[in-house]
Amino acid sequence: MDVGVYNGKARVAIALLHRYRALRCRQIGTIHFSLHVAGVRVSFEIERKFLVCGNEWLNLATSHRAIRQAYLNLNGKASVRVRIQDGGATLSIKSRPAELRRLELEYPIPVLEAEALIGLRQGAVIEKVRHLVPWHDLVWEIDVFSGENDGLIIAEIELRHEHQAIDLPSWITTEVTGQAAYYNSYLVQRPFSSWSSEDGAIQRENWRKSNT
């Protein structure tokens, strides 16, 4: 796929985003409030992020999948992500900055096109294995990173609304929701392996405390 084709897809996604806003849709009591327009899913994502300690959670995991993803745009009010997993691929737009509740637009694309788009990325490729861990009435997504982010483990939980109370397992430690350093769009620019430098000292120290 050439750059012109990619730009066409990006324009379609942005146009749908503006159309969604014009409809003044509001979130209802589900994990995602979704609107399907021309085959594209538009939704709000409500998600909290935490650091993880130990490996007790691994015994509770019911499935896992490998993920490769990269970012085509990291500036302005939205990030554009391409992801390959489970033999399929998606192109996603998420509102910025990173926070508890974010607008998300996502639609499937052919894997070959995704591979071509990854070649147009900004920053590094994110490689990780995502484990699904049921806990009470929710399911935790625990990402074990590799490559330049090897050693980093982040747990994510999707909520029905911002004020939903959750029972934290013993292997969940420091909450990092809204801390940009722990989001994938930041890790492609400042990977975990670089956090020993001065600008990443605070983040690495927080991670160290949560894993001792």
Report residue 32 as tokens: 């995602």
In sequence order, the β-bridge partners of residue 68 are 84, 127
User: Number of structural domains, the chain?
Assistant: 1
* Global pTM exceeds 0.95: no
What is the model's pLDDT at position 190? 93
Domain of 107? 3-210
141-170 pLDDT, tens per residue? 999 999 999 999 999 999 988 889 999 999
CATH number at residue 130: 2.40.320.10
pLDDT in tens, 177-189: 999 899 999 999 9
Query: Which of the residues are catalytic?
Result: 71
SS (H, E, C) 136-193: CCEEEEEEEECHHHCCCEEEEEECCCCCCCCCCCCCEEEECCCCHHHCHHHHCCCCHH
Q: What is the pLDDT of residue 203?
A: 53
